Amino acid sequence: MLDIGFAKSALPKNGALVLLVEEGEKPTADLLAEVDHATGGAVSRALEAAEFKGKPGTSCTILAPGAGLSRVVAIGIGKLEALTQRTAEEAGGHAVPALSRDTHASIAAAALPDALAAAIAMGAALRSYRFDRYRTKEKAEDKPKLAKLHVLAAHPVRAKEAWTPLQTTFDGVCITRDLVSEPPNVLNPAEMAERIKALESLGLKVEVFGPKEMAKLGFGALLGVAQGSANEPRMVVMHWHGASSSGKGKKAQRPQPIAFVGKGVTFDSGGISIKPAAGMEDMKWDMAGAGTVVGLMAALAGRQAKVDAVGLVGLVENMPSGTAQRPGDVVKTASGQTVEIINTDAEGRMVLADVLHYCLEKYDPKFMVDLATLTGSIIVALGHEYAGLFSNDDGLSAQLTAAAEETGERVWRMPLADAYDRQLKSDIADMKHVTGRPGSAITAAQFIQRFVGGRTWAHLDIAGMAWSTKDSACVPKGATAFGVRLLDRLVASHYEEA
């Protein structure tokens, strides 16, 4: 884990130095003149030779420039007045790969407001994440060396104060990335439930439901998905009482919580409707929606968010066996509605159906947001740039879209309409859970909507966003933890007590 600190702006005596260069004809940056003088003009000559202008996303590395420094890395930040928290995070993230051979480095950020200096740290932390617990023979030269990063700020104490809540969000991101990265022979439903239970140390209240408890609740949809696996399912409920614990009154006076629900299929073989072998190993991350809910709840508790929130995750493994669910089966959901099973690989919506109904009945939430790696169809529609947003409420959709733009975890609103809903009609049950391929991400959302009881609700199909096959500014290749920062921003901007 990268150790991040804040200090007064001063030219470091050794290590690496990152300069944040504003866009212009003549690059300018905090400490640039000082380091240029100390290196006999080596830095300015290198930037001029590289025609470096400070455009966002660009960088220039000067090796061994002198003055005891191992390297100077110039990172373009564009126009200073246009810099936002998101673009500042991206600048911090861009710096990390260039610093991998240094043990310690400093980022000159005294020209930035304190909040943006903290955002630089956030971006660096996000990019530095690495899941390597199963690498036993990795050579030392293949491991990044960077262990300590100083952000040189105009007001180090204030910048550190701005960093504190960001750090708890980063911790939540790491929890999610760790869960999603784990191999499926390690992270089965019971193991994931145990790891969530351990988060009670943060102040969360955690309840774990096994098969017997879920059977009593009538969870025919979720248990139907799980019945082919030797690994028993779990439902886990996480409570955070950040508003009511500080407030005023008895339990009965608690406000309606906001609710987040995650699909947690710890491995998805497709069941009897088995997936092709190619790429099936990726299905360890079919629990990413649940992983995001866990990381979000940890982040809310970590920063003592002034909100009452509940997070629910349905954890199952979808396997083919002699006891597995069959296409053609009819199951009764917790809501009492019956569903004809068409394809056992469309299991996530069945898990969500029972958990969403339980959330609605038990907690009467202000709104519900569910997250799921639900359909390949959403990847066809949106690629790996946006998650699909489906909602029955324009206000919640607008809030989610704004938070998505602010954090860079982008969403695109998709339609819901009766014409799609009618396609779910079954000849023998209240509904079937799969339609044809056209519009299948939409009909999946229409299916889920039947279990929210008309409550304000949004569904995020994150199938294209949960895992990245390449590095980006703040996300190294692998598990992205998409949704943790988005939903944390949603809560902070709109739902915390003043």
**What pLDDT sits at residue 142?**
84
Any residues with CB less than 8 A from the CB of 396 and at least 6 apart, and which?
367, 369, 456, 457, 458
Give the mean model confidence (pLDDT) for residues 217-239: 98
* CATH C-level class of 3-160: alpha beta
The torsion angles phi and psi of 68, rounded to 5 degrees, stand at: 85, -5
**What pLDDT sits at residue 253?**
65
**What pLDDT sits at residue 312?**
99
**What pLDDT sits at residue 245?**
53
What is the tally of helices (H) and strands (E) in the chain?
A: 15, 19
Give the mean model confidence (pLDDT) for residues 422-441: 97
Give the mean model confidence (pLDDT) for residues 79-100: 96
- Comparing C-alpha atoms, which of 310, 305, 446 is closest to residue 368? 310
Q: What is the pTM of this model?
A: 0.96
Give the mean model confidence (pLDDT) for residues 482-486: 98
Give the mean model confidence (pLDDT) for residues 439-449: 98
Give the mean model confidence (pLDDT) for residues 475-495: 98
HSE of 398, CA atoms in CB hemisphere, 13 A: 4
Tokens encoding 362: 């038990």
Contact indicator for 73, 59 with CB cutoff of 8 Å: yes
Identify whether 158 is a catalytic site residue.
no
Tokens encoding 130: 């690495």
Contact indicator for 467, 278 with CB cutoff of 8 Å: no
Torsion angle in degrees (nearest 10) through CA of 176, 448, 348, 213: 90
- The 10s digit of each residue's pLDDT in 134-177 is 999 988 888 899 999 999 999 999 999 999 999 999 999 999 99
The beta strands (E) that lie in 183-326 are given as: 205-209, 234-241, 258-268, 308-318
Q: Where are the domains of the chain?
A: 3-160, 187-494
Catalytic residue selected from 275, 366, 410, 413: 275
Q: Given its phi and psi angles, is residue 276 left (phi above 0), alpha (psi -120 to 50 degrees) or beta?
A: beta
- Comparing C-alpha atoms, which of 296, 485, 303 is closest to residue 407? 485
- The 10s digit of each residue's pLDDT in 42-76 is 999 999 999 999 999 999 999 999 999 999 999 99
**What pLDDT sits at residue 412?**
98
Cβ count within 10 A of residue 249: 8
List residues bridging with 69 in a β-sheet.
15, 66
List residues bridging with 21 in a β-sheet.
76
**What pLDDT sits at residue 468?**
97
Q: Is the pLDDT of residue 90 over 50?
A: yes
- The 10s digit of each residue's pLDDT in 248-302 is 445 556 789 999 999 999 999 999 999 999 999 999 999 999 999 999 999 999 9
Q: Measured between alpha carbons, how far is 263 from 17 in angstroms, rounded to an integer?
A: 43
The architecture (CATH level 2) of 187-494 comes to 3-Layer(aba) Sandwich (3.40)
Residue 385, classified by CB atoms within 10 Å of its CB into exposed (0-12), middle (13-18) or buried (19+), is exposed
Catalytic residue selected from 86, 234, 303, 349: 349
Residue type at 363?
Answer: Y
Residue type at 305?
Answer: A
Q: How far apart are the first and last CA of the chain?
A: 33
Give the mean model confidence (pLDDT) for residues 183-205: 98
- The 10s digit of each residue's pLDDT in 327-346 is 999 999 999 999 999 999 99
Length of the chain: 498
Identify whether 216 is a catalytic site residue.
no
Looking at the chain, the whole-number percentage of residues with pLDDT higher than 70 is 98
Q: Is the pLDDT of residue 18 over 80?
A: yes
**What pLDDT sits at residue 180?**
98
| b/e per residue 320-354 (b: at least 16 CB within 10 A) | beeebbeeebebbbbbebbbbbbebbbbbbbbbbb
**What pLDDT sits at residue 497?**
86
